Amino acid sequence: DVKVTQSSRYLVKRTGEKVFLECVQDMDHENMFWYRQDPGLGLRLIYFSYDVKMKEKGDIPEGYSVSREKKERFSLILESASTNQTSMYLCASGGTGPLREQYFGPGTRLTVT
């Protein structure tokens, strides 16, 4: 079974703090993704990575950065957390070619106060 794990299920941070969300997959997938999910807005892509050290902006990259130093690990960084970044963050990994379905982690519910 594909396993995607995220470092925390729940996180509470203060405005202005630097926040790291970690994601690890065990399927040797090339592609990894970070989404945020908000009520009424569905899943929105923040960043994705198709290889180690490679990254591409998604639809809402502002206020976020990412790091992929190893194939299995993809980190999302909030440089200076703000209250409008309170959300559910979902990490996913996926293969290439036709086998591009994504496997998701359990999510991290981040609250910024």
Partner 1 sequence: AQKVTQAQTEISVVEKEDVTLDCVYETRDTTYYLFWYKQPPSGELVFLIRRNSFDEQNEISGRYSWNFQKSTSSFNFTITASQVVDSAVYFCALSESTGGFKTIFGAGTRLFVKA
Which parts of this chain interact with partner 1 (CB under 8 A)? 31, 33, 40, 42-43, 45, 48, 50, 56, 58, 88, 90, 92, 94, 96, 98-107
Nearest-CA neighbor of 46 among 64, 32, 31? 64
How many of the other CB atoms lie within 10 Å of CB of 66? 22
Minimum gap (Å) between residue 29 Cβ and partner 1: 10
2 with 105: CB under 8 angstroms?
no
Instruction: Return the number of the residue (70 or 100) whose C-beta is nearest partner 1.
Output: 100
Minimum gap (Å) between residue 30 Cβ and partner 1: 8
CA distance 34 to 66: 9
Minimum gap (Å) between residue 80 Cβ and partner 1: 27
Task: Identify the burial level of 95 via C-beta atoms within 10 angstroms of its C-beta, where 0-12 means exposed, 13-18 middle and 19 or more buried.
Answer: middle
Instruction: Return the number of the residue (7 or 17) whose C-beta is nearest partner 1.
Output: 7
How far from 23 is each of 39, 66, 85, 108, CA to CA, in Å? 23, 11, 18, 10
Instruction: Return the number of the residue (72 or 103) whose C-beta is nearest partner 1.
Output: 103
Instruction: Return the number of the residue (21 or 107) whose C-beta is nearest partner 1.
Output: 107
Minimum gap (Å) between residue 110 Cβ and partner 1: 13
